[in-house]
Structure 1
């Protein structure tokens, strides 16, 4: 492993010798390997790409050109509209409900957009908001998807997973589907159930064997419960709607979710870049494909090398797992009292004394697409050369959240 990382460092250094840090790269060979592996894990079911984990028009297009990938799961309605207008996809599901009135007005005013974008809903108030923007008789029929809560509630007051939709039971799902069916101007075309406690939680956290055992036990029981409940909910919804898709999963649960007979498609995105959070998974670990480089600018003491910047911290609970990790050269670590800083990041470890001012340290981000909020472009590396520089959302002037 150490030899492979040394070879990767040499290759990235040679490919980007003409660039000044900080900058970010995507190794195309690793990206394509991950994309193919995710399709294999999906076992014949189409994979919808999660745009928030990629955040680059060019790379989304590259992935969607590959066999097995179909459609986009966007994170905001304005983003979905941009992706359709940019011809990235004509099948974009918005993963979260929206209250963006201007974007809703744009969607409701364009029949082509309305045919390509699917809104996420889980509350009649969201339908009311759409009607207040433009009444049903004054707009094309809008496509909507029901967000079914996939969290596990083994006991009263116990909630395992993220807090998303209020629609949890099959009965509630059927009742909501009936509500949508009775409303003019809407068509229920899909159901989504994202099992975050399985897909988004590593089951082998480093150095925490007991916690890993507990997580795996919870995930097994949660999966069995969801398998039955999701199937029943889909059946209940189909009594009121002609569903086009049932979506589930994420990179961390692709194989398990695709095995659910109720699911017709799965979603993945983070596995394309292979961020550090996915080092804590046993079932499949993507090949690291996205990196950012920072330059050593000072040597404050023996055994310490300090790079400029580096504090590109990921969202989520404020804990060490959200910090970027120095990856190349191997053997570096963050300083516990400082972590990754906005303007400088001191590093220690066996390799620190070998670093000189001007040398590069390659980091991996904790979460996939959030890296793209820090840079205007991604340098695409093929072998030992940068073959292109493509804009991130930020570089294209796209700011959504």
Structure 2
């Protein structure tokens, strides 16, 4: 497989196919919102590069969920192996970047730029590892912070370190997290953000560090984070493995077959789900079985609401939280309402078919 899969993900993540660092260095007037790309990486690929953000049960009240910021996992090498790993990484970065760029343009990448690309990746990864090791060796309690209070701490930390502030950082980052998600309304005045006391220093340090870097460096690092994870779905996978293990035997056909299997099955499953459902689902489902299930679900919700309202062992705060959670729950039963409406399935595939063709053109 070529680079179609990589280019498609870069487009969805709003990353360039050619990072501006490659030919322009850190120059250029283009603005890069790293928080938006970081959040897209989490929502689309499940990756968390700089900051980890999750929704987890409140450790002090399991009946509600809370927003939780923490330290992402970073692959850190032992100091004794760093020199050997650097030599291998330098070869892989140079080879992969050159191959991808060669498929887009005939322009030659300067050797000095490839050296810069390696050092940018190594230095940012090194900072993440160093800061993570410094800030997370011990367990500590989750502490709640108001957005305003945590933002003030971020501004104070940044101002002292780099004489710069980003007063809208938390609003922007968390806003991107929930952008487009229905039935979620973040109250930045009342809602709380939970952070382990031992990892708060990491969050302050990494935010400050990122904003101290040229935007082209941060863009390239995120670009590489995507590309390196998708290499296994391209013909580059075998060459990278040979660089990593020059004396080992590699079963090329087995590896490449597996690399093709994952993206292909994912694309087919996603694209054909409604067509397959149309072929096997009963036409009367929505008016017979589906309607019965809908009534049953409503009765269950009504019974659960009554139990919550009348339970004498619940305090009012917990009762209110449970009723709010029940109210926000949506039911999706069987098939979409439009599936068997004349012409709607064809209309759906005309729309998504055009998107798929555009992605692979």
TM over 0.5: no
- Whichever of the two has the greater Rg, that structure is 2
- Please state which structure has a larger fraction of its residues in helix: 2
- Please state which structure has a larger fraction of its residues in strand: 1
- Normalised by the shorter chain, which TM-score bucket? under 0.3
